[in-house]
């Protein structure tokens, strides 16, 4: 009787193993798992894109019209970084199947304080300035934008879940601090 079981167990055992293997494959075993992301990561990406868009508008005017060549250089550097960072943030939001823009309703932002956005008057006012007045206005607007960005970046570095986003936030902290120091030196001179 033992031989008969062994003889019939072969095909039955193979079939059972095949079903088990298919079940494991269907549940994701063998597939590369993407790291989890959180609401903080989504907020970082969405707010980061909004801040990049605003900052880029100021930096574009500054890059083209500032009298101070060092200020033009900072604006060019910011715009270059923002292009790269913006592509990364948009890619993550697409991967996560989340919108690029945050929910505009006030209640959606009640839990994290009020970061101030630039107003349309800020851009038109800057555009109307020339020479040293434009430089002073650009420095003030870029510092305000970078301050808001630092708040968002710190939030991600402290509370984010997505490893790549936390790493980007840490790198952004270093570069933004250097840019802020350069702008503060210009403001003081």
Say if 107 falls within a structural domain: no
Range of the domain at 17: 1-33
Q: Is the pLDDT confidence value at 144 over 70?
A: yes
Say if 44 falls within a structural domain: yes
The answer to whether the CB of 146 falls within 8 A of the CB of 180 is yes
Say if 123 falls within a structural domain: yes
Least reliable range by pLDDT among 24-28, 132-136, 170-174: 24-28
Instruction: Identify whether residues 29 and 47 lie together within a single domain.
Output: no
Least reliable range by pLDDT among 14-18, 69-73, 173-177: 14-18
The torsion angle over the Cα atoms of residues 166, 138, 75 and 188, rounded to 10 degrees, is -80
Instruction: Identify whether residues 96 and 3 lie together within a single domain.
Output: no
Say if 108 falls within a structural domain: no
Instruction: Identify whether residues 69 and 162 lie together within a single domain.
Output: yes
Q: Is the pLDDT confidence value at 114 over 70?
A: no
pTM of the model: 0.78
Say if 140 falls within a structural domain: yes
Instruction: Identify whether residues 180 and 129 lie together within a single domain.
Output: yes
Instruction: Identify whether residues 11 and 64 lie together within a single domain.
Output: no
For a pLDDT cut of 70, what percent of the chain falls above it?
Answer: 77
Q: What DSSP letter does each residue of 109-145 carry, written as one string? A: GGGG--PPPPPHHHHHHHHH--HHHHHHHHHHHHHHH
Instruction: Identify whether residues 48 and 62 lie together within a single domain.
Output: yes
**Per-residue burial over 121-139, b = 16 or more CB atoms within 10 Å of its CB, e = otherwise:** ebbeebeeeeeeebbebbb
Say if 1 falls within a structural domain: yes
The token pair at 145 is: 């934008």
Domain CATH code at residue 80: 1.20.1260.10
Higher pLDDT, 174 or 32: 174
pLDDT tens sequence across 77-110: 999 999 999 999 999 999 999 999 988 765 555 5
Instruction: Identify whether residues 69 and 120 lie together within a single domain.
Output: yes
Say if 49 falls within a structural domain: yes
Say if 136 falls within a structural domain: yes
Cα–Cα distance, 32 to 56 (Å, whole number): 36
Q: Is the pLDDT confidence value at 177 over 70?
A: yes
Instruction: Identify whether residues 60 and 126 lie together within a single domain.
Output: yes
pLDDT tens sequence across 13-63: 665 555 555 555 555 555 567 789 999 999 999 999 999 999 999 999 999
Element (H, E) at 40: helix 39-65
Find the angle CA(53)-CA(100)-CA(160) to the nearest 5 degrees.
95
Q: What is the pLDDT of residue 33?
A: 72
Confidence of residue 3 (pLDDT cuts 50, 70, 90): low
């Amino acid at each position: 009787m033992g031989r008969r079981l062994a003889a019939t167990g072969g095909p039955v055992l193979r079939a059972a193993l095949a079903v088990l293997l298919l079940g494991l494959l269907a549940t994701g075993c063998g597939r590369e798992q993407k790291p989890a992301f959180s609401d903080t990561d989504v907020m970082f990406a969405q707010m980061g894109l909004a801040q990049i868009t605003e900052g880029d508008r100021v930096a574009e005017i500054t890059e083209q019209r500032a009298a101070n060549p060092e200020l033009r250089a900072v604006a060019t550097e910011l715009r270059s970084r923002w292009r790269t960072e913006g592509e990364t943030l948009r890619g993550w939001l697409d991967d996560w199947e989340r919108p690029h823009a945050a929910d505009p309703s006030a209640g959606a932002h009640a839990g994290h304080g009020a970061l101030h956005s630039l107003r349309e008057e800020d851009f038109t006012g800057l555009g109307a300035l020339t020479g040293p007045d434009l430089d002073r206005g650009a420095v003030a607007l870029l510092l305000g934008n970078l301050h808001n960005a630092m708040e968002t970046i710190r939030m991600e570095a402290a509370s984010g879940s997505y490893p790549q986003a936390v790493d980007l936030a840490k790198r952004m902290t270093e570069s933004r601090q250097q840019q802020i120091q350069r702008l503060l030196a210009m403001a003081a001179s």
